[in-house]
Amino acid sequence: MRSHLMLFLSAMLLLPLPAGAQEVMEEETAVVTYAPEVPPAITRKKPAKVIVKIETRELVARLADGVEYTFWTFGGTVPGPFVRVRTGDLVEVHLSNHPDSKMPHNIDLHAVTGPGGGAASTFTAPGHTSIFSFKALNPGLYVYHCATAPVGMHVANGMYGLILVEPEEGLPKVDREYYVMQSEFYTKDKYGTAGLQPFDMEKALKEQPDYVVFNGSVGALSGDAALQANVGEKIRLYVGNGGPNLVSSFHVIGEIFDKVYGEGGTAASDNIQTTLVPAGGSAITDFKVDVPGTYIIVDHSIFRAFNKGAVAQLKVSGPENKEIYSGKIGDEVYLPEGSTLQSIFQESSSRPSASSKEERIKLGESAYKTNCMACHQSGGQGIPSAFPPLAGSDFLNADPNRAIRVLLHGLSGPVKVNGETYDSVMPALQLADEEAANILTYLYNSWGNAGHEITPEQVAEARKAGKVENS
Ligand SMILES: [Cu+2]
DSSP string, 407-456: HHH-EEEEEEETTEEEEEEEPP----HHHHHHHHHHHHTSTT-------H
Q: How far is the CA of 90 from the centre of ligand 1 (A)?
A: 24
Q: How far is the CA of 146 from the centre of ligand 1 (A)?
A: 5
Q: How far is the CA of 155 from the centre of ligand 1 (A)?
A: 7
Q: How far is the CA of 56 from the centre of ligand 1 (A)?
A: 8
Distance CA 129, CA 117 (A): 17
Q: How far is the CA of 99 from the centre of ligand 1 (A)?
A: 14
Percent above pLDDT 70 for the chain: 91
Percent above pLDDT 90 for the chain: 78
Distance CA 32, CA 339 (A): 64
What are the pLDDT digits (tens) for 221-249? 999 999 999 999 999 999 999 999 999 99
Q: How far is the CA of 204 from the centre of ligand 1 (A)?
A: 16
Q: How far is the CA of 154 from the centre of ligand 1 (A)?
A: 5
Q: How far is the CA of 143 from the centre of ligand 1 (A)?
A: 15
Q: How far is the CA of 152 from the centre of ligand 1 (A)?
A: 9
Q: How far is the CA of 144 from the centre of ligand 1 (A)?
A: 11
| Measured CA distances, 112 to 176, 246, 321 (Å) | 27, 23, 46
Q: How far is the CA of 64 from the centre of ligand 1 (A)?
A: 22
**In terms of DSSP bridges, do strands 48-64 and 67-74 run parallel, antiparallel, or are they unpaired?**
antiparallel
Give the pLDDT of residue 20.
47
Distance CA 186, CA 244 (A): 10
Q: How far is the CA of 93 from the centre of ligand 1 (A)?
A: 16
Phi and psi dihedrals of 26, rounded to 5?
-70, 155
- Single-letter code of the amino acid located at 123: F
Q: Are 75 and 54 in contact (CB under 8 A)?
A: yes
Q: Are 118 and 124 in contact (CB under 8 A)?
A: no
Q: How far is the CA of 107 from the centre of ligand 1 (A)?
A: 8
Give the pLDDT of residue 94.
97
Which helix or strand (DSSP H or E) is residue 403 part of?
Answer: helix 400-409
What are the pLDDT digits (tens) for 248-297? 999 999 999 999 999 999 999 999 999 999 999 999 999 999 999 999 99
Give the pLDDT of residue 66.
94
Q: Are 420 and 333 in contact (CB under 8 A)?
A: no
Q: How far is the CA of 177 from the centre of ligand 1 (A)?
A: 28
Collect all residues with Cβ–Cβ distance below 8 Å to 14 and sequence separation of at least 6.
Answer: none
Distance CA 150, CA 143 (A): 18
Q: How far is the CA of 386 from the centre of ligand 1 (A)?
A: 34
Nearest residue to 280 (alpha-carbon basis) of 264, 268, 296, 293: 264
Give the pLDDT of residue 218.
95
Q: At what angle do helices 400-409 and 433-444 cross, to 10 degrees?
A: 130
Q: Summarize the confidence of residues 215-223 as an average pLDDT.
A: 95
Distance CA 190, CA 207 (A): 14
Which helix or strand (DSSP H or E) is residue 57 part of?
Answer: strand 48-64
Q: How confident is the model at residue 330 (pLDDT cuts 50, 70, 90)?
A: confident
Which helix or strand (DSSP H or E) is residue 3 part of?
Answer: helix 2-13
Q: How far is the CA of 104 from the centre of ligand 1 (A)?
A: 6
Q: How far is the CA of 97 from the centre of ligand 1 (A)?
A: 9
Q: How far is the CA of 286 from the centre of ligand 1 (A)?
A: 32
Give the pLDDT of residue 348.
43
Q: How far is the CA of 148 from the centre of ligand 1 (A)?
A: 5
Which segments of 80-139 does DSSP mark as H helices, in order?
Answer: none
Q: Summarize the confidence of residues 418-423 as an average pLDDT.
A: 92
Q: Are 181 and 160 in contact (CB under 8 A)?
A: yes
Q: How far is the CA of 116 from the centre of ligand 1 (A)?
A: 14
- 404's torsion region: left (phi>0), alpha (psi -120 to 50) or beta? alpha
Q: How far is the CA of 283 from the centre of ligand 1 (A)?
A: 24
Distance CA 183, CA 247 (A): 9
Q: How far is the CA of 147 from the centre of ligand 1 (A)?
A: 6
Which helix or strand (DSSP H or E) is residue 395 part of?
Answer: helix 394-398
Q: How far is the CA of 138 from the centre of ligand 1 (A)?
A: 25
